[in-house]
Amino acid sequence: MSYDMGKNYKLTLFGQSHSQSIGVVIDGIQAGYEINYDLIRRNMYRRRPGKNKYSTPRKELDEFKIVSGEVDGVTCGAPICAIIENKDKKSKDYDDIRDKPRPSHSDYPAYVKYQGHNDIRGGGQFSGRMTAPMVIAGSIAEDLLQQRNVRVFSRVKQIGQAHDVEVDYSTIDLDRLEKLKNDDLPTLDDQAKAAMQEEILKVKEEEDSIGGIVEVVVLNMPVGYGQPRFHSVESQLASAIFSVPAVKGIEFGSGFKAAEMRGSEHNDPYYYDGDQVKTKTNNHGGVIGGLTSSMPIVFRVPVKPTSSIGKVQDTISLKNKTNTQLKIEGRHDPSIVPRAAVALEMVTAIAILDLLIEGDKER
């Protein structure tokens, strides 16, 4: 089913953007795990809408409730079910879209697939709102990864023409990465952040939107996890990453720049650091032959501009079967990139934990 993810650490999403509630069922957590509620709350706050001038004004506190699978905060072996109530809904803002599908949104293909019964309110089950319960599952996965000393971080690498600095994740100070988790617009360079904020506020004033690139890194991943071919680390991560709305691609390590390089430039020479095998460079992005190499897993994800914008756009009338125009009402992010970064970090944690559990079975 398209709302399921994972083999060993499994989750199922339910709900829509304007349904009474949204939530997630998580299976695969052993009994006796003490749920880290504080970590879930912190990550939920990072993703939450309406808390700054460059996100949607929709005010959702994203207060969650775990309704099964735990006793006094400790898992009991049953599946965990967590729900989030949708409170700040303005469904009437979407009335016009029932007839006039938004350009570059799921409205039209969903209309055809579901014979006109699709929920267009806030984007229904296609909405970025559905990443909120994914953050709950991702936060639990992150906590379980931390117990293995595996860390996952994300940052906004680019918005429009504003770029963050280049870094070497094999030598970067961990405290520098930790600060990203307390930032609404996580960058490593403050000047880059200011330039990105300027890009977002400019398009907001023009009733437009803008996209960007999110970079995700996984540190301390042990060597030899994953499978060749169809169940490679890249395949598993790509599947998870594309579950986040607005994602348009993924590249690992040097990515598309590899097309411009020679083998002598792209190859990552091995060396011993004590008894650990490392590579002098990391063009492979931490994955070789579908398996982890023990180097940082690094990948970048382009996120498209938010499709719901205030400008008048050409579209069609499904009722009249004519060409027409649409002026979208409602509350939307001028750039979804900062909030998408949190969701991408969380689904990465889910996929990595699933890979580790599977690899442990083989050892």
Instruction: Provide the b/e sequence for 62-79 (b: ≥16 CB within 10 Å).
Output: bebebeebbeeeebeeeb
The whole-model pTM stands at: 0.94
Q: How confident is the model at residue 257 (pLDDT cuts 50, 70, 90)?
A: very high
Q: Report whether 47 belongs to an annotated binding site.
A: yes
Given a cut of 70, whether residue 208 has pLDDT beyond it is yes
- Of residues 307 and 237, the one with the higher pLDDT is 237
289 is in an annotated binding site: yes
Would you place residue 92 in the very low, low, confident or very high pLDDT band (cuts 50, 70, 90)? Answer: low
SS3 per-residue string spanning 215-269: EEEEECCCCCCECCHHHCHHHHHHHHHCCCCCECCCEECCHHHHHHCCHHHHCCC
pLDDT interval class at 357 (50, 70, 90): very high
Domains assigned to the chain: 4-361 (3.60.150.10)
| Rounded Cα gap, residues 276 and 257, in angstroms | 28
53 labelled ligand-binding: yes
